[in-house]
Amino acid sequence: MTQKALRLGTRRSKLAMAQSGQVAEAVRELTGREVELVEITTYGDTSREHLAQIGGTGVFVSALRDALVSGEIDFAVHSLKDLPTAQPDELTLAAVPPREDPRDVLVARDGLTFAELPSGARIGTGSPRRMAQINAHARSHGLDLTTVPIRGNIDTRIGFVRKGELDAVVLAAAGLSRVGRSDDATDFLPVDTMLPAPGQGALAVECAASSAELAATLAELDDPYTRAAVTAERSLLAALEAGCSAPVGALADLLSDRQVVKEMRLRGVVGSTDGSALVQLSTTGPVPESPSRAEALGRELAAEMLAKGAAGLMGERAH
């Protein structure tokens, strides 16, 4: 007897459809079962408010999670950076596949790099995190740059540059890659200049906790190094009591010696959106052998950042 197709819940944007399609193909190969995409509209897709105004936390995932709980879909794919740090008991994060490039990129007019942007350049971004770091970098280097809040999908954002409304926009490298538009990037921003959002570049594959067999199957897509890294980053975010839209950047990477992975380094940043104040710290520890160790690394760095005044930089909504 032919098994029923698995129903994969996804947002309707081109990027969400692309990344869900990639996971669907991997699940087909794994199970031999058909996977159908079920398009679901989230609050974050329909609201025209800026992310900082609507709070960010969960606005792109709550409708998908509701569909999982009600049994409308079998599993869902999220951009991990959109996922609230608290995991509901009735759902399980079955897999975190290997991460794409976590960096941010610049898409600028005339092929300009970040260093080549002229005085008075207008840079579009919907992210308080990016605003904080761009403005801090501009202040420290005596640059006259203006950040402009924008919303919209990848095509819309790049369109602002193509139409001459903005000099540049900042986007996630992974998003451009997944929709086949990496060639539009004019500069890859080093993480020393721009720490990405916690979990950026990674996907989350979620299903109902009661679907033990499906969860075990999906777990074969999991990459333990990526999971350890994003667990540390998200633990930092949680310990700062900040939501997805707070001006917080974090990146955990693995340090190797002669190709043997020895340690994990976690870097974090919190800044005021005008760039006038920035708390940026890092810590290094053994490669976490359990989620609890990765979480501890995040909490330790958060405590140091809070001691340096991070809480005061996140705004009322964040903490």
Mean pLDDT of the chain: 89
Query: Does 248 share its domain with 301?
Result: yes
What average pLDDT does the segment 272-286 reach? 91
Catalytic residue list contains 223: no
**In CATH, what number is assigned to the domain containing residue 306?**
3.30.160.40
Assigned domain for 198 exists: no
Give the integer Cα–Cα distance in Å for 236 and 1.
48
Q: Is 132 helix (H, G, I), strand (E, B) or coil?
A: helix
β-bridge mates for residue 124, sequence order = 148, 169
Residue 239's H or E segment, with its range, is helix 224-239
Structure tokens at 159: 């369109």
Query: Does 138 share its domain with 266?
Result: no
- The tens digit of pLDDT for each residue in 97-140 reads 999 999 999 999 999 999 999 999 999 998 999 999 999 999 98
Query: Does 307 share its domain with 256?
Result: yes
- pTM equals 0.88
Residue for token pair 């740090």: 85
Assigned domain for 318 exists: no
- Res 183 pLDDT > 90: yes
Q: Is 120 helix (H, G, I), strand (E, B) or coil?
A: coil
Assigned domain for 165 exists: yes
Please pick, among 74, 82, 104, 167, the residue that the annotation labels catalytic: 82
- The tens digit of pLDDT for each residue in 22-69 reads 999 999 999 999 999 999 986 554 545 544 444 445 667 888 999 999
Assigned domain for 193 exists: no
Segments forming the whole domain that contains residue 240: 229-313
Give the integer Cα–Cα distance in Å for 61 and 124.
24
